[in-house]
Amino acid sequence: MAAIKGKNKVLASNPLQSLTAAALLLPGVMLGVAQAAEDDEFNFQYGRYEESHRNLGDIKSQFDPISVDSLQAGSKISLTDRVKFAFNFIQDTWGGATPISTAPSVRQGNQPLVVNNTLVGATPYLQTGTPQVVYFDNQLNPLKAVMDENTGEIMSLGVDKQLAHTMALASPETRKEGNFKLGYEWDEAAIDVGGGISSERDYESRFGNLGGRWDFNQKLTSLNLGLSYTNSDTFARQDHDASTYIDYVGYARNMKDTSDVQITKGRMLTGNRQDWATNMGLTQILSKDALLKFGVGYTRSTGYMANPYKAVTVFFVEPVGGQVGEYSETIPYVGQVKAFLEKRPDLRNQWNFSTGYVQYINPLDAALHFDYRFFHDDWGINAHTFEADWVQPLGAGWTVTPRVRYYSQDAADFYKPYLAVMHATDSDLNNKKDLNYLPANYSSDQRLSGYGALSGGLVLTKQFAKGLTLETGFEYYNHKGSFKLGSGGEGDYADFSYYTANAALKVNLETVGRGMSGGEHDHHAMHHNHGAPLPAGVMFGHVMTTPGDIMIGYRYMYSRQDGRMLHGHELAADQDIVSNGCNLEPGLTCRTSPAFMNMHMHMLDIMYAPTNWLNLMVMPQFMDMDMKVRSLGGVTPDVNRDHLHGGHETGGVGDTGLYAMFKLYQGAGHDINMGVGVTAPTGAVDIKLKRMHTKDEGYIHYGMQLGSGTWDFKPSITYTGKVDDWSWGAQLNGTKRLENRNQAGFAFGDQLQSTAWGSYSLFNWLSASVRGIYTVQGAVKHQFNAVIGDTSEGSTPIMGDVNPKEGSMDNPKNYGGRYWDVGFGLNATIPSGSLTGNTFSVEWLQPVEDDVNGYQLERNGTLNATWSYGF
C-alpha cells in the first residue's frame, strides 16, 4: 500500500499540462505506423492582447487599458534519429491601466484631475483625496449621500451598491523567456528533459522539467508522466506615487529600501516562490475515428504568491457620534479609509482533472475536439473549463477552426472587494496595530473573484506545398460575474472583455527536405551555397534566381550605448552638457543624460522569387528598448522633476519593411543587385511616460519610440564577388523619410550607409568576414507635439507643455552623427544532413569612431545574428 501511495503521489498531476505535454509529444509516435514522428520545424508567432475599458461608474478612465504584444520564435530539430532538441524564445511587452484596488463608488477611487478647468487626466486615489471617510449603516453597508451642490446639504441617503476598481497606469515593461527541451525516443517510449528562464524587471522565474511517454497495447494507449519545478523571485519596486498611500505594514520584513542614491527613498518588495508540479496523462485510441484522453495533475506552490501592486481598501469603522447632527440616526458609523498591500497564503495545493475526446467526422473530413477540465485548490477555488473546437479542412491547404470556451470559477476564501472592520484607527500609515484587526489574508484581485468567462474565436491556416504554413487566429473573451456557474458571481463593475489576435508562420524542415530528395536537393544545397556568404549585418545582399523559391530568415540585433557622453567626437564634461545640451529653448539647461541604453530588434525575413530576376520581401520587426537615466554632475537630483525611477522600458511591433530586389548583373563570380522598398510606420511613436510624482509627463525620448512614424524609402545597391575560397562585396544603402513629420510631431533624420567586406572560407561550411561601415545620419527634425499639463513645481498649477526637455536625450539635436565601425563575422551554411540549407551567421560591430550631433552617449557595439533557410 505504501508503494502504491508513493506511486500515486508521482502520478498525480496537472491535466492541462499533461494534455499540452501529450500534444507536444504524441502526435505521430502514439499513432504508430500511420503517422510520422514529429517533424523538424521553425516557427514564429506574433500575438496581440487588448483589454476593454473598465466600467468606473460616473468617471471615464483617461488611461488606455492593458495591451500586450507577444513575440515567439522557436525550432524543433532532430540531432540524430532519436535525439530531439527544441528551443523557444518568447517576449511580451505590456503597458496600460489595470485595477490596483476596489472600493464602493462613494469612495471615489478614481478622480478626474482638473487643472484650470481643463480635464488633464484621471488619478487613482487610494488613501488621501476626498473623501477620506465613508459612512456606513447598521449592516456596515456603505452609504451614498446626495448633496445639494449649492448649500452642501445632504438631500438623501441610500446604500451604495456600486463598486468600482481604482485604475492605475503601468508603464511598458518587457518579459523575456528562453526554454529548451531535449528528448530521446525509442520505438515505443520517450523521455525528455527541459528547462528555461523567464525574466522581467520585477520578476524572474527559473524552471526545469522531466517528462516521459510510454506507448503500449499496440500503440493504442499512451501514458505520459511529467514533473516540473519552478523557482521565482519577485523584486517589485513600489510606485512612488502609491508609496505614500499604500500601507505596507503586512510586508515590513519583505520591504527593503532601495539604495539608489539618485532616487528619493524607494521601496522594493522581495519574495520567493516555488512550485512543484506533477502530471499524468493517458491517451487511448477508441476506434479508427476517435480517441479519448485523461489527465490528472497536482501542483504545490509555496512562498510569496501575492501580486505586489494590488492593494485592498479597508474601512476602519467606528460609531459616528454626534458628528453628523440630524443624520446621526441614519448614519450610525463612519469608516476611515486605508489601502493595504494584498496578502495571500504562502501555501497553495492545486489539483486538476481533465478529459478530452476527439472524433473524426467522416462525411466532412473534419474533427471535433471536446475538452473538459476541473480545477480545485485549497484557497477555496473550484473551476470548470469546457472547450470545443471544430477543425474543418477546406481543401487547397486551407483549414478553418471555430473554437468556443466557457470557464467558471468560485471566489477564493480570502477574496473580498473591500474590507470593513469594526475598529477605529488613526490616519498614520504603516501602523502595526492595524494588523490586529485585519484577517490573515485579503485580496481584491479580480482573478480570485467568482465569475464566468465565455470566449470564442476562429483559426485559419493555409499550408503551402513547400512545407510552409501560415496561421492566423482571433479570440474574443468576455469576463462577467453573472456568467459564473450557480450564483454568487462578482458584481458587474468587474466585468471586462479582451481580444487576442495572432499570426504565425511554420516551416516544416522535414517536408522541405523530403520534397527535395536526390538531385533537386543537391541543387538547392548548392543554390544556397552559391554566391558569397554575407556578413550577418548585411541585408539585401542575395537575390534568389530560381522562380518559386522561398526563403525564411530571422534576424536579431542587439546594440548598447553605455558610459561616456560625447560632444562631436570628443568627451563631454557634465557641466558642458548642463549648459549646452538642452538648448531646444533659450535658457534651458540639462539636468539628466542617459546612463545606458539597450536596444533589441527581432526581425522576420520572408522572401519570395516570382521570377529569376525579381525577389519580393516582407520584414516585420519587433523592438524592445530600455534606458536608465542619471543626474548630471553638479545638478541636485529632484525626484519631482527628473524621472529617475529605475529606468524606462518600451517594446512592441516596429516598422514593417516591404522590398523588391532586382538582379542587375550576374557574371562569372560577380553579382550586382538593387533593392527598393519602404518601411510602413507600424511602430508606435506616441509612447508617453507614466504620470509620476503627481505630475503628468509627455512623450518618452525619441530613441525609445518603436518606429520612425513616417513612411521611409529604403534603396540599396550591392555588389558581391567570389573566387575560390575568397569572396567580397560592397553596398550602399539609404533611408529617406518620405514625410516631414510623423503623428507625434517629429521625423528622424535621413541616413546613408556604405559598407565593404571581405570573406574567406575556412571550411566548406564555415567562413569568416571582416567589414568596414561608414554611416551618416541626420538629427531629429522638428519635435514632439506639445502635451498640455501642469508644469508647476509647486502646488499652484501652471499649464504648459509637459514634454520632458531637461534630459539630453529629449533634445532632437542630440540625434544622428557620423560613425565608423568594423565588423567581425562568422557564417555557417550546413551542407548536408537534416539541417541542409540552413545558414547561421553572427557579426560583432565594433565602433571605431563616433562623431555625434550634439551630446550623445558613446556606442559600445552591435551584435547581429541571423538564421535563414531557403527552399
Partner 1 sequence: MKLLLIILPLVASLSGCAVAPWERGNLAKPQMALDPNPMQTELLGHSHGSREAAGAGSSGTGGGCGCY
**352 near partner 1, judged by CB under 8 A:** yes
* Cβ atoms < 10 Å from Cβ of 774: 15
State the nearest-atom distance from the C-beta of 697 to partner 1, in Å.
20
Helix (H, G, I), strand (E, B) or coil at 81: coil
Q: Which of residues 257-276 bind partner 1 (CB under 8 A)?
A: 275
Q: Which is nearer to partner 1, 76 or 555 (CB)?
A: 76
CA of residue 813 relative to chain centroid, distance = 32
- Measured from the CB atom, the residue of 65 and 749 that comes closer to partner 1 is 65
> Whole-number minimum distance, CB 554 to partner 1, in Å?
15
67-85 exposure pattern, b = at least 16 Cβ within 10 A, e = fewer: bbbbbbbbbbbbeeeeebe
CB of 417 to partner 1, least distance (A): 16
Cα 236 → chain centroid: 17
Shortest distance, CB of residue 537 to partner 1, whole angstroms?
A: 29
What are the residues whose beta carbons fall under 8 Å from the beta carbon of 23, sequence distance 6 or more?
A: none
In the bound state with partner 1, the residue whose beta carbon lies nearer, of 304 and 719, is 304
Residues in the chain: 871
| Positions 65 through 94 that interact with partner 1 (CB under 8 A) | 66, 68, 70, 72, 90, 92, 94
- Choose one: 185-193, 358-366, 589-597, 781-789; the region binding partner 1 (CB under 8 A): 358-366
Residues of span 753-782 touching partner 1 by CB under 8 A: none
d(CA 127, CA 255): 20
Between 210 and 676, CB nearer to partner 1: 210
Q: What's the min distance (Å) between Cβ of 487 and partner 1?
A: 18
**CA dihedral defined by 856, 860, 862, 863, rounded to 10 degrees?**
-150
Using the contact rule CB under 8 A, the part of the chain among 388-396, 683-691, 726-734, 750-758 near partner 1 is 388-396
Each residue 27-46 as x (binds partner 1 by CB under 8 A) or -, in order, gives x---xxxxx-------x-x-
Residue 842 binds to partner 1 (criterion: CB under 8 A) = no
Task: Take residue 66 and report the three cell numbers written for it.
Answer: 492593458
Task: Work out whether 381 is an interface residue with partner 1 (CB under 8 A).
Answer: yes
Near partner 1 by CB under 8 A: residue from 248, 442, 498, 659: 498
Binders of partner 1 among residues 517 to 556 (CB under 8 A) are none
As measured in angstroms, the least distance from the Cβ of 615 to partner 1 is 27
- Smallest gap from Cβ 193 to partner 1, in A, equals 12
Q: Where are the beta strands (DSSP E) in 613-765?
A: 614-619, 621-631, 648-653, 656-667, 670-680, 712-713, 716-723, 726-737, 746-747, 751-761
Q: How far is the CB of 4 from partner 1 (least distance, A)?
A: 7
Per-residue binder mask for partner 1 (CB under 8 A), 393-432, x = binder = x-----x-x-----x-x--x--------------------
849 counts as binding partner 1 under rule CB under 8 A: no
Q: Does 700 bind partner 1 (CB under 8 A)?
A: no
In which region does residue 639 sit, left (phi positive, over 0), alpha (psi from -120 to 50) or beta (all else)?
A: alpha
Binding partner 1 by CB under 8 A: which of 110, 461, 742, 767? 461
DSSP string covering 325-368: GGGTTT--EEEEEEEEE-B--SEEEEEEEEEEEEEEEGGGTEEE
Exposure class string for 320-345: b at 16+ Cβ within 10 A, else e: beeebeeeeeebbbbbbbbbbbbbbb
- Which one of 112-120, 356-364, 586-594, 834-842 is the stretch in contact with partner 1 (CB under 8 A)? 356-364
Stretch that binds partner 1, among 364-372, 547-555, 571-579, 792-800 (CB under 8 A): 364-372
Q: Give the residue with the Cβ less far from partner 1, 308 or 541.
A: 308
Q: Which is nearer to partner 1, 19 or 597 (CB)?
A: 19
Q: Which cell numbers in the block locate residue 128?
A: 488621501
Q: How many CA atoms lie within 13 A of 813 on its CB side?
A: 13
DSSP 65: B
Is residue 378 part of the contact set for partner 1 (CB under 8 A)?
Answer: no
* Nearest-approach distance from CB 296 to partner 1, in angstroms: 6
Specify whether the CB–CB gap between 868 and 552 falls below 8 A. yes
Could you say which of 248, 251, 333, 375 contacts partner 1 (CB under 8 A)?
375
Output the smallest distance, CB 346 to partner 1, in A. Answer: 14
Asked if residue 498 lies in contact with residue 52, where contact means CB atoms within 8 angstroms, the answer is yes
**Per CB under 8 A, does 293 bind partner 1?**
yes
Per-residue b or e along 516-555, where b marks 16 or more CB atoms closer than 10 Å to that residue's CB: beeeebeebbebbbebbbbbbbbbbbbbbbeeebbbbbbb
Asked if 2 is part of the footprint of partner 1 (rule: CB under 8 A), the reply reads no
By the rule CB under 8 A, 213 interacts with partner 1 = no
Q: Does 443 bind partner 1 (CB under 8 A)?
A: no
Q: Does 19 bind partner 1 (CB under 8 A)?
A: yes
Radius of gyration of the chain (CA): 30
Q: Which of 56, 419, 448, 747 binds partner 1 (CB under 8 A)?
A: 448
Query: Minimum distance from CB of 279 to partner 1 (Å)?
Result: 9
Q: Would you give the binding string for partner 1 spanning residues 164-183, x where CB under 8 A is met?
A: ------x--x-x-x-x----
What one-letter code names the amino acid at 159? V
* E-assigned strand segments in 681-765: 712-713, 716-723, 726-737, 746-747, 751-761
Q: Which amino acid is at 511?
A: T
- Scored b (16 or more CB within 10 A) or e, 20-51 reads ebbebbbeebbbeeeeeebbbbbbbbbbbbbb
Q: Which residue has the cell 467526422?
A: 361
Residue bearing cell 476596489:
102
Minimum CB–partner distance for residue 38 and partner 1 (Å): 10
> Which range touches partner 1 (CB under 8 A), out of 351-359, 584-592, 715-723, 825-833?
351-359
Q: How far apart are CB 544 and partner 1 at their closest, in Å?
A: 27
Residue 356 within binding range of partner 1, rule CB under 8 A: yes
* C-beta atoms surrounding 475 within 10 Å: 18
